[in-house]
A and B are shown apart, each in its own frame.
Chain A
Amino acid sequence: MAIMTPGERIGAAVEMRKPDRVPVVPIIDFFAGQYGGITQHDMLFDIKKADAALEKTVRELGAIDGQNLSYAGLGRIMQVIFPNPPVMPGVGAEPEDGQFQFVEKTVMDWEEYTQIEERGPVRWIVDKMKLSNPQLGNPVGMLKTFAAVAADITKARGSIKRWRRKGIESMVAYNIVFTPMEYISLFMRSFNDFILDIFRHPEEVKEASRVLMKPMKMQGSMMVRMSGLKRVFMGGTRTSASCLSPSQFEEFALPEWQEMCEFWVGKGVTPLLHFDSDWTAFFPLLKNLPRRKCILNLDGSSDIFKAKEVLGDHMCIMGDVPAALLKLGEPEEVDDYCRRLITEVGAGGGFILSSGCTIPVDARPENVAAMLGSVHRYTP
């Protein structure tokens, strides 16, 4: 088979054809920042330094075909767009080389579920963003903030193009979209309150889901336009089988995932379903998502071999070298796990080798090298 470019290789895997070899597309920037000698703060806020760190990493540890989600240079954007901003290294009292982490916090009462439509969903979201970004409360502050965000997005877009010229694709860059329930649970109600709402206020939760669907799609469409990439990263964890029962998933979450995926597929955009936690029990239900149009990206908590069995003909599978293995394992163990992934999950095509969620910041470099090199050692 003729040698493919990284873009062709990834494209073939996504379309469930056989590429010349399995593409490797990790989330690598946290690790690359550390390996490349910059702080985590610089990785998130200075894309030039982040790019230089990644360049050193791939030069010394092995080539990649693409980056999965990239956080490089997105620090300021995440501070603004998330109503409940993550803890950021070098921001506030956090050390420059600290760890990026999401915070569990309730910023809405359950009664608000039915008030979103009246307020207008976009205005309601902006109201929540103002809680941590009070400058959005006045027109000048809002203008300045969004101008800064736009500047960072422009820089990130420039980075995407530069990496493509160097032979590294961006899968999704900053095209991040949430389903309404994932969004509510992660940023608005906290996990515990959201779960209780499902039992106590089921109709109100569904009402909020219906109303928030439009702004979620709008935000994603804007990102797709700005990035020029025809893929979106859809994070899922709070609606996984680690949290909900199959009947709850079918009643509450599956309709959202279906609607969202069908929307993107209808626009020619590929949903990359980045599913953290354990989704194994829901694999049969994921057959309700558009056939051969989505990427199922698992983090090491789900049974990826079972995914191949149940969904191997339905969607491209991506994953899932576990974070603990990359930190604590030996290179031979990493190699062995990657071999299994490539030969078993990669059989027949439709597989992309990736890290289980992110390559951890403290992964052993020799383990990362073993993972990146495995695609050249093994064939499906």
Chain B
Amino acid sequence: MKEAIAAMLAELREDDTLAEIGKALAAGTDPLALVEGLRDGMSEVGRRFEEKEYYLSELIMSAEIFKQAIGLIEPRLASGSGAPRGSVVIGTVKGDIHDIGKNIVATLLRCGGYEVHDLGVDIPADAFVRKLKETGAPVLALSGLLTLAFDSMKETVDSLAEAGLRGRVKVIIGGGPVNDKVVEYSGADAWGMDASQAVKLVGQFVGP
């Protein structure tokens, strides 16, 4: 069952995956095993993405199937079961309203079992600081497509230092023009070229 679900998800068979989940739940299958099957499917999608067998469109579709399938399973999960792998605060920095990349990363992180605090777009530095203090999240993911966003990223990293959080919070950045130079300029720890890399980075910093 678990393997079948993983394979269906990896093949992006939306109706089949959801029907199989429904059948399994009706048969009393352990919901956690189904979640594991879905996660295995997402891992396979990630592998295919890295091998360039899949592209971003397939990542988006797989995340959509995962989200729906989890929606079916969640009511059957005992509270406290399936604790998140860790938490991440994410947002598009001040002055920038682009959210496609940020949303995809947030979705894939949720699929990967992370608790994601998505603050949205055009987020000032102090809002990130507040959320990091409130949640204790060890990773901050910043997105931006404009070159003006580089300054906001730097401002945010500086604010973390001023708030005494820099020692315990890793900062990853991403977005169209982001590269090593922007990491150096902003004082972030790393950058991800695509959503898959961003999830990997979080795994490195939080634990897989």
Residues on A lying within 8 angstroms of B by beta carbon are 87, 98-99, 101, 103-104, 191-192, 195-196, 198-200, 241-246, 248, 276-277, 281, 300-301, 322-329, 360-363
Contacts and interface: CB of A to CB of B under 8 A. Distances in A.
Contacts of A98: 95
Interface in B28-55: 52, 54-55
A241 B55 contact: yes
B154 to A, nearest CB: 11
Contact of A99 (B54, B148, B176): B148
B146 interface: yes
Interface in B50-68: 52, 54-58, 60-61, 64
Given A101-B98, A191-B100, A200-B14, A328 B61 contact: no
B61 A195 contact: yes
Nearest to B178: A324
Contact of B60 (A195, A281, A300, A301): A195
A101 B180 CA distance: 24
A329 B56 CA distance: 30
The 3 closest A-B pairs by CB, nearest first: A360-B147, A245-B55, A324-B177
Contacts of B73: none
Contacts, number: 81
Nearest to A192: B60
B197 interface: no
A361 B148 contact: yes
B182 A248 contact: no
A362 B147 contact: yes
Contacts of B95: 98-99
Contacts of A362: 147-148, 151
A87 B92 CA distance: 16
A99 B177 CA distance: 16
22 contacts: A104-B98, A195-B56, A195-B57, A195-B60, A196-B61, A199-B14, A199-B57, A244-B57, A245-B54, A248-B55, A300-B177, A322-B177, A323-B177, A324-B147, A324-B179, A324-B181, A328-B182, A328-B185, A361-B147, A361-B148, A362-B148, A363-B147
B52 to A, nearest CB: 7
A242 B193 CA distance: 11
B64 A196 contact: yes
B57 A327 contact: no
Interface of B: 12, 14, 52, 54-58, 60-61, 64, 95-100, 103-104, 146-148, 150-151, 176-179, 181-182, 185
Contacts of B176: 276-277, 301
Contacts of A200: 14
A335 to B, nearest CB: 16
Contact of A192 (B55, B100, B148, B177): B100
A185 B74 CA distance: 32
Given A192-B100, A362-B148, 12 more contacts: A99-B95, A101-B98, A101-B146, A192-B103, A195-B60, A243-B57, A245-B54, A248-B55, A277-B176, A324-B177, A324-B182, A363-B147
Nearest to A329: B181
A281 B12 contact: no
Contacts of A244: 55-57
B178 A101 contact: no
A99 B146 contact: yes
Nearest to A237: B176
Contacts of B54: 245
Contacts of B177: 300, 322-324
Nearest to B146: A99
Given A196-B64, A277-B176, A301-B176, A245 B146 contact: no
A102 to B, nearest CB: 8
Contacts of A199: 12, 14, 57, 61
